[in-house]
Chains A and B, each alone.
Chain A
Amino acid sequence: MANFEPILLRNRGVTGSTSLKVYESRGGYRAVRKALKMTPDEVVEEVKKANLRGRGGAGFPAGMKWSFLPKDRTRTLLCVNADESEPPTFCNRVLMETDPHQLIEGTIIAAYATKSQIAYIYMRVEFHEQFHIVQRAIDEAYAAGYLGTKIFGTDYSLECYVHRGAGAYVCGEETGLIESLEGKRGWPRIKPPFPAVEGLFRRPTVVNNVETLSCVPHIIERGAAWFTGIGPPHSTGPKLFCISGPVKKPGCYESPMTISVRDLLEREDMGGGMLPGKRAKAVLPGGASMGIISANEFDMKMDFEDPRKFGLLGLGTAAAVVIDDSIDMRVVLRNMARFYGTESCGQCTQCREGTAWMHKMATRIAMGAGRVEDLDVMLQTARNMGMMPGLSICGLPDGATYPIETIIKKFRGELESAIRAQPAGRAKRVLSVLN
């Protein structure tokens, strides 16, 4: 499998790949024409057969999600989740800046399959360049009659708008996204009702990730059988893997879900190994929320199933960051705790208070005023807010639990000795100032 022919990234590096002309010259917008000749249900069926699991983090099969829409609906809305805020994930960014038309084509097909009238692309505001690229591509598509009324000369009409976010991680959660689209604070909604039944503006709504939708044209064009032929049965299709940190070639790489973390890190066509003089100590393999693995676990497979065996939450966004051994684990711990502490939306008690408390503890530990018992309190707090499903409205606290729990469990020795190495009485002194 050394040289996998890229599918989603096939236009990367092609001059003018963001333009309609180049995209079409390379076979673009063929799939959508094919799809428009099928019935919407046939499209759903095909995507279902391809077992396209959502790339946004939860891994829920896209075709299944579409088939949950009520049969008697009159108006459906599609939201494209381009909020990509999970550190250190950037594959949606790469897709949008290299091949916006692929996303638009996928969006049109998904919208057609779900009988949607409007597609909103919810894009995080920090994507300035990407916004202009996508918006220009949309303008081109409108001009070509691929969007708007009666697209491609059929009776089907679709509007597509970009809606820009404003800096909130939790707006990537599908119901947080919906609330944000409605102009409110991005407080995720309680489910049921699920968005498929009652979502944006109380209409049946489908939310899908950019990468998920970018897969759709290829499924339609080449068929579900081809798609399921790629990768293991439970994790079909091509997947984008991100790698960042002190590696030779950080970036976004495409592969079937058969690679291991070590492959991603070391293969020449991927990460290319560590920078000279750096040694990998740990990897956060699936975005921050999934947890950490230590150097002796690098053989973990990056698919939807294997990460669980290593105490992780799942594959997540398949974005790995390498932590080299010059980095103090207390710093990583603080970084994780801070992210969730500042990004919790503040609705649910456990998440609001738990993340903030862990942030405080982790900050103190990183500042050299930790106590060994803080690690236990953190571990318990993490479990209290996230381990048990259903404790909170959305998945953020689960995502906050796993990195904290796995860092403390897998690197407890390092953390403890760092704490023990603090000057005697320091923690006490700092605490007495604090209170």
Chain B
Amino acid sequence: MAQPAGERLLKLSRSVKRAMSWQTINRNLPVMDPKAPPVLTEAVREKIRGFFPRYETKRAVLLPALHIVQDALGHISWKAMAEIAALLEIQPSDVIDTISFYTHFWTHSKGKKVIVACRSVSCEVMGGVAVLEELKKRLGIDEHETTADGAYSLVTEECLAGCDHAPCVIINEKLHKRVRAEDVVKLLADHANARLEIPRSDLFDAPAKTAADPASQNSQAEDLVGTTSDVREMRES
């Protein structure tokens, strides 16, 4: 496991240096067109408002709201953040503050299906690394990347609490247990690989994914704020 690493580290270190050197991010410029139509539909807003009675503050609805928006739009764009902020009567900076803390929220679009591979101890002991490598090879992407056709994104996460079935992989909502490297091809070919096969409770029920909202203009700024799982350097490990 320790062998080809030196070269990888070398390559990586160069790319990291190039990517991170002395960039100035300009926060004076808006990244979204104020005149563009809202991205949150009335149905989504209504769903969010439905959570208000549950909590004493509107801010507490932020996590449910982010889940709902991400389910509806695939990710949470700057514009969506601003709209959520307005809906919950908080500042947009509070929204990005919260979003960026959690690995589950994405600020840029991901594939239709997001594969979350566990990399924690049980899964690593049981061969999780081989599964991850196989996934990368079959999808032709690296961690935290999305395939060109937008079908899959691949991320790694810490323990998914399915360690008795290690190695574990979650595709969207479905937990796949005891995935072996040789199963990966079959797993990816299965159309139902992201479908949860139990009766769903209606709260948080994700409607069919709509097309992601148009890319925003200040792509540089978009690039440089990511949720924790998006930070380039995390690929290092």
User: A residues within 8 Å of B by Cβ?
Assistant: 84-90, 92-93, 118, 124-129, 131-133, 135-136, 139, 159, 161-169, 180-186, 201, 242-246, 250-252, 284, 288, 319, 321-324, 327-328, 330-332, 334-336, 338-339, 342-343, 345, 359, 363-364, 366-369, 418, 426, 429-430, 433-434
Contacts and interface: CB of A to CB of B under 8 A. Distances in A.
A87 B122 contact: yes
Given A132-B198, A245-B122, A363 B236 contact: yes
A88 B159 contact: yes
A430 B6 contact: yes
A168 B175 contact: no
State which size class the interface on B falls in. 35 or more
A368 B7 CA distance: 11
A286 B8 CA distance: 34
B63 A88 contact: no
Contacts of B56: 201
B13 A284 contact: no
B104 interface: yes
Interface of B: 1-3, 5-6, 8-10, 13, 54-57, 59-64, 66-67, 88, 90, 94, 97-98, 100-105, 116, 119-122, 124-126, 157-166, 170, 173-175, 196, 198-201, 203-204, 228-229, 234, 236-237
Contacts of A330: 2
A364 B66 CA distance: 36
Contacts of B158: 85, 87, 169, 339, 342-343
B121 A88 contact: yes
Contact of A251 (B164, B199, B203, B229): B164
A213 to B, nearest CB: 17
Contacts of A242: 163-164
21 contacts: A88-B163, A93-B162, A128-B173, A128-B196, A129-B198, A131-B201, A132-B200, A133-B198, A159-B54, A184-B59, A186-B101, A201-B56, A242-B164, A321-B163, A323-B125, A330-B2, A331-B1, A369-B6, A426-B6, A430-B6, A433-B13
Contact of B125 (A183, A321, A418): A321
Given A89-B161, A185-B97, A334-B237, A126 B116 contact: yes
Contacts of A369: 5-6, 9
B163 A367 contact: no
A179 to B, nearest CB: 10
